[in-house]
Amino acid sequence: MQSPKEIRISDYHYDLPDSRIARFPLEERDASKLLVWENGNISEDIYRNLPSHLQPGTSLVFNNTRVVEARILFTKPTGGQIEVFALEPGHQYPDITSAMLQTGSVQWKCLVGGASKWKKGMVLEKQLGATTLKASIADQLPDCFLLNLEWNAADMTFAELLHRAGLIPLPPYLKRDAEASDNDRYQTIYAKEEGSVAAPTAGLHFTDRIFESLREKQITSRFVTLHVGAGTFKPVKSETMEDHLMHAEFIDVSTDNILALSKDEQIVAVGTTSLRTLESLYWMGIKASLHPNISLEEMEIKQWDVYDQLQYNMLPREEALQHLLTYMHLRKMERMVCRTRLLIAPGYQPQMISGIITNFHQPQSTLLLLIAALAGPRWREIYDYALTHDFRFLSYGDGSLIKIQNNRIVKPY
């Protein structure tokens, strides 16, 4: 079987007319169309009927990250505008949550629009009532800037500052500025942990009505956290995947949730971020089984870890997660907070899930590769059907439920 490193991204192209991209959400979240793919068969429904397509006893796993107002506009004394896009904290902070709780000052990795106009030593200021936000360049990194951000409100956290100073960062392919309604609609109704610069969009369709129906059908809802980075929109520019650098993202999952997941029979991930979190936990368990004294930093799942080495030491899901729990117990860890760069591409065999609920993704993207890993070559049938049956695409579009046969303990390729 072809190594994922040899995958040519051009083989995962499809024509997406601009008219099929949903610029705005529907008035009702759960009125979006739902494509159901099972055993190669496709059917249509709407999201509010999702529970009827799931078996009692299934566990749905949601990503409860919250999108922060990551776009900050500064005006120079000369009148020119510089846009700062807050990506992730500097390396001195152990996790995004800790960095978000910093008061008075913080260092943050940022993209800068109009960086050529930001002269060395210049301090930008933004007035927020009685609070003044100052920004200066600490360092220029290969793909972004490290900024010093300071504000004169000692009890105000960085998360609170962003709420006041920033704008919701809509995906670039929507080609419009954020509106007041996006503050609500570009968040899931269960968003809790602040730190994402993009929404886990599969969850945007869920309503209180759906959650009530899930409970009535004895379908469990579990919540994990993966803070979505801007890298989720990063185009694959290399000819083959070997030369593409997968972005890193923070996951945060409690020991209670990991224990529950180790006992769940059927798990369906709500979104690609939930899926990457679940699969990363599995491989962290494999690392813990091989190297009980491994450092937390070494626990990070690198892009090719599962294809280069870990695949030769696979265990049943329950055992892998128990090794992870033992690792955490010995270190008195109540939560696993760690980075992952896991790339899920054709040839990968999921070890945690039997299905995914997800939107329709961009051509030639790592998210589309993930779908192709689950559905195989028949991913084209799913997307062709969606294109010819008036489904809406991307973040504010419709979605799908893809059910798979879970072939656990099968090497990724």
d(C-alpha 91, C-alpha 98), whole Å? 12
pTM over 0.85: yes
* Mean pLDDT value across residues 118-128: 91
pLDDT at 342: 96
Question: Is the pLDDT at 409 greater than 70, yes or no?
Answer: no
pLDDT in tens, 377-389: 999 999 999 999 9
Give the model's pLDDT for residue 223. 98
Q: Quick one: pLDDT at residue 2?
A: 76
* Structural tokens at position 385: 């059907």
Which pLDDT value is given to residue 234? Answer: 74
pLDDT > 90 fraction of the chain, expressed in percent and rounded: 86
Report which of residues 410 and 303 the model is more confident about.
303
Number of Cβ within 10 Å of residue 24's Cβ equals: 13
4, 343 contact by CB (below 8 A): yes
Q: State pLDDT tens for residues 52-85.
A: 999 999 999 999 999 999 999 999 888 889 999 9
Taking residues 264-270, report their average pLDDT.
Answer: 96
Domain-by-domain residue ranges, the chain? 4-66+185-403, 70-166
CATH architecture of 4-66+185-403: 3-Layer(aba) Sandwich (3.40)
Residue 349 pLDDT greater than 80, yes or no: yes
pLDDT tens-digit series, residues 396-405: 999 999 999 7
In this prediction, residue 406 carries a pLDDT of: 63
pLDDT of amino acid 298 = 96
pLDDT digits (tens, 9 = 90+) for 275-317: 999 999 999 999 999 999 999 999 999 999 999 889 999 999 9
pLDDT for residue 143 is more than 90: no
Going by C-alpha positions, the residue among 4, 31, 13, 28 that lies closest to residue 399 is 31
Rounded Cα gap, residues 396 and 411, in angstroms: 35
Count of residues in the chain: 413
Quickly state the pLDDT bin for 120 (edges 50, 70, 90): confident
Q: What does the pLDDT read at residue 407?
A: 54
Average pLDDT value for the chain: 94
pLDDT tens column, 331-340: 999 999 999 9
Alpha-carbon gap, residue 411 to 413, rounded angstroms: 5
pLDDT tier for residue 247 given thresholds of 50, 70 and 90: confident
Place of tokens 């760690």: 338
Indicate the DSSP class of residue 408.
T
Which pLDDT score, from 0 to 100, does residue 1 have?
63
pLDDT tens digits, one per residue of 191-237: 999 999 999 999 999 999 999 999 999 999 999 999 998 777 778 88
Whether residue 408 has pLDDT greater than 70: no
Superfamily for the 70-166 domain: QueA-like (2.40.10.240)
pLDDT confidence band for 121 (50 / 70 / 90): confident
Average pLDDT over residues 114-120: 87
Q: How far apart are the first and last CA of the chain?
A: 6
Listed residue (99, 61, 101, 70) closest to 190, CA to CA: 61
| Average pLDDT, integer, range 132-151 | 94
**110 contacts 197 by C-beta, under 8 angstroms:** no
Q: Is residue 412 over pLDDT 70?
A: no
